[in-house]
Amino acid sequence: MTLKEFWWKGAVIYQLIPRSYADGNGDGIGDFQGLASRLNYLRWLGIEAIWLTPIYPSPLQDGGYDITDFKNIHPELGDLAAFYRLLTAAHNHGIKVILDLVLNHTSSLHPWFQRARWAPKGSTERDVYVWSDDPQRYAEAPVLFRNFESSNWEWDDVAGQYYLHRFLRHQPDLNYENPWVQEQMLGVVDFWLDKGVDGFRLDAVPFLFEAEGSRCEGLPETHDFLKKVRQRVDKHGRDILLLAEAIQPVEEAAPYLADDELHGAFNFVLTAHLFAAVASGKVNQLRECLEKTQHVASVGSWAMPLRNHDELWLGDGHLVPDDVIQSIRAGLHQGHGHWLNWGINRRLAPLLNGDPRANRVLHALLYSLPGMPCLYYGDELGMGDWPGLRDRDPNRTPMAWTSARNGGFSTAPDPLLVLPAVTAPGYDYRVLNVEVQKQLPGSLLNWHRRMLTCRRLLPALRQGEFEILESTHPSVIVYIRYIESMIVLVAANLSAAGASLSLDLTRWKGERTREVLWGCEYPLADDNWFVYLPSYGFSWWLIGEVEETIQNAPGKN
């Protein structure tokens, strides 16, 4: 066990897009003022941290991941003073704030890039980005946004050279070989830590350095720079989270998690396996993935998203095997025709055919597996999407707060909205919104709140060890989370058919057992327990004696 408990260990992270969350000044665009007014809701829901997608000045050609000034705020969101007010208010609500930090590239409108293209070839100013006379350089690096780009190089007439862009052509890659670039970006880290933020989601970390003959991902020099970021963060003497976005197999993502590097990394392999399990009704590969995940990194350092603001990234066979991709393609019908780049461009609810039971079982896993569960705004409601909008905008539509116009997101006339509020059949904001679901005891929203409450009361789920148990059923995954004073047994059926199975409880023979979520007593543990899990059913059981507080978890109805 670790000596010190870090705030982020087992924390539930809520990802939101400030522009799409709540509009405070009525101009149709979400902002800090609006978000601050919704902190009560987030505290009520029970999340522990918010991750804000980029908040910096940007022409928004890639949702703000194309930055023109790393030390400022996009004027539509507010200004530095408004950010400070939001941060203070979040802290007063007991909520941590994680910023998205884009290290790999800038917007092509960033003054550094404009200066670089006009500066003489070979000069320090030019050298802030990666240039080449030959667009065949680094030919083994895959094109990531393949629906939008056909090469990682773009010709620049002014410079008379090609520049490297691993993402859109509007996002030139910074040249990390240049010490000036490194110093600038470390300065950005200092800037936001001085403001008081609690962590960074480090965007696209694998791509900082390039080398001929490789995919240009996770090179040793990239790790060296990330270690410098860590040293800089540690100098601040606060408990900060550095969380890597590396869409890579677990063996390749794990090296970022060294003691002197980053604290956490998203586990996108797990995400794919969770969807594959629901799509196929089989858990064997999910189980293997969980076992591997635990061996390559210390328990608790993985962040676990289901969906986010991007497409559901499945890759080219490098991230997960082709048969996993095939079973997702075959099983998740609503994904048909919505393939974008290397993944499926839909939100969680439509991908799951609007079935709240599938939403529940997947989140019941996230909330009980070791690591940081990530909840994408709106998924607590089963919010829908708007297929047909450009790029990844289908997944980025306004949060549905009430049945009022535009889902209570904004009072602006419809054409001014950042993106249209969802009125698709089955997902209409007039029915599917926070206000309505708060009042329905059986709603998905109240279910998430109750699960998060129970999780808070079960330290074994937050910090405990993890062990996968044998399951006699191909659709059911069984594991325990435990600390010295508490054991929680979890079983989940990932199939649409019911499952009956027997659980071997020999180890705990004679112990008291209770189903946690609804507080119901079970028979004393015996050699074998026969259990039935309905379609997408799951249970959390407490084994042995525990304190009374858990019995009285609020929100039971």
Within positions 17 to 46, which residues make up the interface with Ca ion, using CB under 5 A?
23, 25, 27, 29, 31
Q: Closest-CB residue for ligand GLC?
A: 65
Please pick, among 48, 198, 203, 252, the residue that the annotation labels catalytic.
203
DSSP string, 425-451: TT--TTTSSHHHHHH-TTSHHHHHHHH
Active site includes 203? yes
Give residue for tokens 């525990």. Answer: 546
In angstroms, the CA 384 to CA 172 distance is: 33
Within positions 164 to 193, which residues make up the interface with ligand GLC, using CB under 6 A?
167
29 binds, among Ca ion, ligand GLC, none (CB under 5 to 8 A by kind): Ca ion
Other Cβ atoms closer than 10 A to 234: 12
Indicate the residue among 63 and 382 with the shorter CB distance to ligand GLC.
63
Indicate the residue among 53 and 443 with the shorter CB distance to Ca ion.
53
Residue 204 touching ligand GLC (CB under 6 A): yes
203 binds, among Ca ion, ligand GLC, none (CB under 5 to 8 A by kind): ligand GLC
- Residues binding ligand GLC: what is the number (CB under 6 A)? 10
Within positions 71 to 130, which residues make up the interface with ligand GLC, using CB under 6 A?
102
Give residue for tokens 């902002």. Answer: 31
Q: How far is the CB of 139 from ligand GLC (least distance, A)?
A: 21
Residue 310 touching ligand GLC (CB under 6 A): yes
Active site includes 190? no
Is 262 within 8 Å of 243 (Cβ atoms)? yes
Please, which residues have CB within 8 angstroms of residue 235's CB and are 6 or more apart in sequence? none
23 binds, among ligand GLC, Ca ion, none (CB under 5 to 8 A by kind): Ca ion
Q: How far is the CB of 66 from ligand GLC (least distance, A)?
A: 7
Within positions 16 to 55, which residues make up the interface with ligand GLC, using CB under 6 A?
none
Judged by CB under 6 A, the residue of 173, 198, 203, 311 near ligand GLC is 203
Q: What is the DSSP letter of 275?
A: H
Indicate the residue among 250 and 543 with the shorter CB distance to ligand GLC.
250
CB < 8 Å & 24+ apart, contacts of 31-35: 31/76, 31/77, 31/78, 31/82, 32/73, 32/77, 32/78, 32/82, 32/83, 32/85, 32/86, 33/78, 33/82, 35/86
310 binds, among ligand GLC, Ca ion, none (CB under 5 to 8 A by kind): ligand GLC
233 binds, among ligand GLC, Ca ion, none (CB under 5 to 8 A by kind): none
CB < 8 Å & 24+ apart, contacts of 253-261: 254/296, 254/297, 255/218, 255/223, 256/205, 256/218, 256/223, 256/226, 257/297, 257/298, 257/301, 258/223, 258/227, 260/227, 260/230, 260/231, 261/223, 261/226, 261/227, 261/230
The 3-state DSSP class for residue 228 equals helix
Task: Determine the interface stretch with ligand GLC among 40-48, 58-66, 427-435, 493-501 (rule: CB under 6 A).
Answer: 58-66
Indicate the residue among 261 and 310 with the shorter CB distance to ligand GLC.
310
Alpha-carbon torsion (276, 445, 460, 540), positive or negative: negative
Please pick, among 31, 173, 245, 261, the residue that the annotation labels catalytic.
245
266 binds, among Ca ion, ligand GLC, none (CB under 5 to 8 A by kind): none
Cα-Cα-Cα-Cα torsion 15, 20, 24, 29, nearest 10 degrees, comes to 150
In angstroms, the CA 53 to CA 100 distance is: 5
Q: How far is the CB of 63 from ligand GLC (least distance, A)?
A: 6
541 binds, among Ca ion, ligand GLC, none (CB under 5 to 8 A by kind): none
Q: How far is the CB of 20 from Ca ion (least distance, A)?
A: 11
In angstroms, the CA 475 to CA 536 distance is: 9
In angstroms, the CA 355 to CA 363 distance is: 13
Residue 479 touching ligand GLC (CB under 6 A): no
Q: How far is the CB of 205 from Ca ion (least distance, A)?
A: 31
Indicate the residue among 310 and 379 with the shorter CB distance to ligand GLC.
310
Give the residue numbers annotated as catalytic, written as ranges: 203, 245
Which stretches of the chain bind ligand GLC, using CB under 6 A? 62-63, 65, 102, 167, 203-204, 245, 309-310
- Which positions lie near Ca ion, rule CB under 5 A? 23, 25, 27, 29, 31
